[in-house]
Amino acid sequence: MSFFPRLLGDVGGTNARFAWQANAQAPLQHCHVLACADYTGLAEAIEAYLSIAGLPNPLAAGIGIANPITGDQIVMTNHHWSFSIEALKHRLSLEKLKVINDFTALALALPSLTENQKIKIGGGVAQQQAPMALLGAGTGLGVSGLIPVGPHWLAISGEGGHVTLAAQTAEEFRVIECIQEKYGHASAERLLSGQGLVDLYQILSQDHENSPRLLHAGEISQLALENHDPLCLACLDMFAGFLGSVAGDLALTLGARGGVYIGGGIVPRLLGWFQTSRFRQQFEAKGRFANYLNSIPVWVIQSDESPALLGAARALDAD
């Protein structure tokens, strides 16, 4: 049974995106982006959204959130919000609430992406009804995928962003050693994220500057792309290489002949440069399976409206 009107959310470690769907045939409306840091919790952010948009309380809500969903209690990995799913449902007086991982939600939307919502980064033609892979760097590193089950799709709900990162060069190995010293475990997310870009810059700058500049991720990207700063460009180059390696591993693991999709907040801002970066080279650099990966298309998701909102709606309808 479907409940309308419904609120849909895509909640990351930095921003929470919300939309409204009045009925089953209605498009998503009243899309707003709120900064997570401005609110003490998810309930407060949702209440603020309803107030800003001038909307009544919904009957149902579907929320994709950047966190594993292992029970009623949610404690975000890359933000301070924590809440009980049941308590949130009660506070908002909802008939139905579905909370899933944000990249699971995004994966559910992949079959509906239009050509205008994705930019191809090499490869051949996607096979129909074949697995698809999804990953994306932002505040953290989200990973998911879609597996065909008859005429339907099954979205993977996992935490692939926390797999151990592997080095392909001596310089990458040195960087990973520094990350291990700082954090204890060099996961893919430790470098393929906003904070990862900052850590990568600090590590690389130790070889070039006595007092490295304190830059945030956006400044590193800007200096690289606009000022052609050599150190910042080296940082982005290694970032793209690591991302390509991780994406290639994921494609092999899932047999993603249906294509690999890149979401998140970082790579879409690097388009132009990213299309000629080391990403594709490292994606295919898998020895005997280079030809296998060479044929797999990769797309960067480029959409003004978060497709994960549509995925959250699909998850809400699936029960």
The tens digit of pLDDT for each residue in 128-157 reads: 999 999 999 999 999 999 999 988 999 999
pLDDT at residue 209, as a whole number: 63
Mean pLDDT of 49-78: 96
Mean pLDDT of 116-121: 96
- Are 261 and 126 contacting, i.e. CB atoms less than 8 angstroms apart? no
Average pLDDT, whole number, for the chain?
Answer: 95
The band of 2, judged by pLDDT with boundaries at 50, 70 and 90, is confident
- The structural domains of the chain, ordered by start, are 6-101+305-318 (3.30.420.40), 114-302 (3.40.367.20)
Secondary structure of residue 18 in the 3-state scheme:
strand
- Are 212 and 201 contacting, i.e. CB atoms less than 8 angstroms apart? yes
Q: How far apart are the first and last CA of the chain?
A: 8
Over 90: is that where the pLDDT of 240 sits?
yes
pLDDT at residue 243, as a whole number: 98
Phi, psi (degrees; rounded to nearest 5) at 19: -145, 170
pLDDT tens by residue, 179-188: 999 999 999 9
pLDDT > 70 in the chain, percent? 98
Mean pLDDT of 204-212: 75
pLDDT at residue 211, as a whole number: 66
- Residues 239 and 156: their CA atoms lie apart, in Å, by 25
Mean pLDDT of 3-16: 95
Which candidate, 116, 91, 96, 66, places its Cα nearest to that of 6? Answer: 96
Over 80: is that where the pLDDT of 37 sits?
yes
E runs forming strands in the chain: 6-11, 15-21, 29-35, 60-65, 73-75, 82-84, 96-101, 118-120, 132-137, 141-149, 152-155, 260-263, 298-301
Mean pLDDT of 36-51: 98
Alpha helices in 16-161 (DSSP H): 42-53, 85-91, 102-109
The band of 250, judged by pLDDT with boundaries at 50, 70 and 90, is very high
The band of 177, judged by pLDDT with boundaries at 50, 70 and 90, is very high
Mean pLDDT of 256-276: 96
Mean pLDDT of 269-296: 97
Which candidate, 291, 285, 294, places its Cα nearest to that of 168? Answer: 285
Show Cβ contacts of residue 137 under 8 Å, excluding neighbours closer than 6 positions. 192, 193, 194, 196, 239, 243, 264, 265, 266, 267
Q: Whole-model pTM?
A: 0.94
Q: Quick one: three-class SS letters along 23-54?
A: CCCCCCEEEEEEEHHHCCCHHHHHHHHHHHHC
